[in-house]
Amino acid sequence: MTPQLFLAKGREKSLLRRHPWIFSRAIARIEGKPQLGDTVDILDAQGQFIARGAYSPQSQIRARVWTFESDEQIDSAFFIRRLEQAQQLRSMLAARDNLTGYRLIAAESDGLPGITIDRYDNVLVCQLLSAGADAQRDNLVAALRHCYPECAIYERSDVAVRKKEGLKLRTGLLHGELPADLEICEHGVRIGVDVEKGHKTGFYLDQRDSRFAAMKYFKDQNVLNCFSYTGGFGLYALKAGAKMVRNVDVSQLALDTAKANCQRNAFDLSRAEFLNADVFALLRQYRDEGQKFDVVVMDPPKFAESKAQLNGACRGYKDINMLAMQILKPGGVLLSYSCSGLMEQNLFQKILADAAIDAGRDVQFIERFGQAADHPILSTYPEGFYLKGFACLVR
């Protein structure tokens, strides 16, 4: 029989609102002996069925919901249904935005907690972040092979959060073979992706809509693309007719790929620069030297991994955005982003406002950005909203 988690009295409220997490303190008792990642039934204090989920004995999030339907079993057919549903949105977006790379499964937001799947042409890259996701690897791979027989499947479960779940890091091929050169297209821009050595699953798909929206600011401009990774915003800037784009990153591999990406698109390399430098130090140097730009893109890595780090993160975001404003010409545009889920949009706007005061500049917010549409936000899971940004006109 399926092991059963009985909730403490009154602790079913968030589940009835279809939030997919059960915290350890909400559980009164457990019947049966569920092991790491096992499927369990979740019942209220009266023994009424509420949901079926996966057990994470080592995590404060003690269980994550697979389904709220009592007659739905967690098998490969379940994963096929979830994939087919997720694919509908992605097929629409792929046709609309000319994409061969997108997030196919955005974990909780696509009804599959702990599972991220990105598609890069004919390669599917999976990240299994929770005990339940890890335990379902075989069912998931069977479902993927059924739905996408043309695709190779690669695992990139080398993410630190797995340790909180009692899981080891793990990477490698699950099916098929990787092509020697993997390329995706978005909005007509060609991008090489290294799913083995790249960040996350290989590319920052979540900034696609923001990269596209940013194109209107780049024509004939001198652009500083901070934290460029493999080109990202810089490629779109060249496509949009920027006069010059300086890409800055501390990863030489990322910069080499950025250059190769410019070549893939036959962009004029005399308009592109690739600088291996620490953005914090470089911006101070430019400020002190009086170097100025028309547009600065500021897309740093996540500064806050936990609530305890949020204050420090706020200082980091303020500092770096103050410097960015100081090196903009009057009337220049700062495109600034935060991918820290704990940093709410309102707080980020306040930080930019504080940065403007410290920079001694007048700033107007002229556009707001969020994560790309293949990273949807499920209404019952607001935590899925993590990436936000602003276009700031700096006077």
Among 179, 188, 241, 301, binds ligand SAH (CB under 6 A): 301
Query: Is residue 312 involved in binding ligand SAH (CB under 6 A)?
Result: no
Q: How far is the CB of 278 from ligand SAH (least distance, A)?
A: 4
Residues found in the chain: 395
Q: What is the DSSP string of 327-373?
A: TEEEEEEEEEEE--TTS-HHHHHHHHHHHHHHHT--EEEEEEEE--T
Which has the closest alpha carbon to 239: 301, 300, 291, 191? 191
Cβ pair 271, 243 in contact under 8 A? yes
Chosen residue from 79, 204, 267, 286 binding ligand SAH by CB under 6 A: 204
Q: Is 227 in the site for ligand SAH (CB under 6 A)?
A: yes
Q: Could you give the CA distance from residue 174 to residue 148 in angstroms, rounded to a whole number?
A: 13
Asked if 116 is part of the footprint of ligand SAH (rule: CB under 6 A), the reply reads: no
232 versus 376: smaller Cβ distance to ligand SAH: 232
d(Cα 40, Cα 147) in Å, to the nearest integer? 27
CB of 89 to ligand SAH, least distance (A): 21
Near ligand SAH by CB under 6 A: residue from 87, 139, 251, 349: 251
Q: How far is the CB of 265 from ligand SAH (least distance, A)?
A: 15
Question: Where does this chain touch ligand SAH (CB under 6 A) — which range of 55-63, 93-101, 264-272, 275-283?
Answer: 275-283
Alpha helices in 206-246 (DSSP H): 208-214, 232-239
Name, in order, each residue with C-beta under 8 angstroms of 303's C-beta and a sequence gap of 6 or more.
309, 312, 313, 316, 317, 338, 340, 343
- Annotated catalytic residues are 339
**Shorter beta-carbon distance to ligand SAH: residue 368 or 395:** 368
H, E, C per residue of 108-174: HHHCCCCEEEEEECCEEEEEECCHHHHHCHHHHHHHHHHHCCCCEEEEEECCCHHHHCCCCCEEEEE
Q: Does 357 contact ligand SAH by CB under 6 A?
A: no
Residues 240 and 237: their CA atoms lie apart, in Å, by 5
* 138 binds ligand SAH per the rule CB under 6 A: no
Q: Does 279 bind ligand SAH (CB under 6 A)?
A: yes
CB of 301 to ligand SAH, least distance (A): 4
Kindly state whether residue 280 participates in binding ligand SAH, applying the rule CB under 6 A.
Answer: yes
- Residue 309 CB, shortest distance to ligand SAH, in Å, is 15
Q: What is the DSSP string of 260-294?
A: HHHHHTT--GGGEEEEE--HHHHHHHHHHHT--EE
Q: Which residue has the tokens 């500092």?
A: 319
Q: How far is 79 from 346, CA to CA, in rounded Å? A: 36
Measured from the CB atom, is 148 or 203 closer to ligand SAH?
203
Closest-CB residue for ligand SAH? 232
For ligand SAH, which stretch binds (CB under 6 A), given 59-67, 228-236, 351-359, 384-392? 228-236
Among 127, 207, 340, 371, contact with ligand SAH (rule: CB under 6 A): 207
Rounded least distance, CB 219 to ligand SAH, Å: 19
For position 278 contacting ligand SAH by CB under 6 A, the verdict is: yes
- In the sheet that holds 27-31, the strands lie side by side as 21-23, 61-67, 49-55, 39-43, 4-7, 27-31
Stretch that binds ligand SAH, among 29-37, 159-167, 245-253, 377-385 (CB under 6 A): 245-253
Q: How many residues bind ligand SAH (CB under 6 A)?
A: 17
Provide the binding-site residues for ligand SAH, judged by CB under 6 A: 204, 207, 227-229, 232-233, 248-251, 254, 278-280, 299, 301
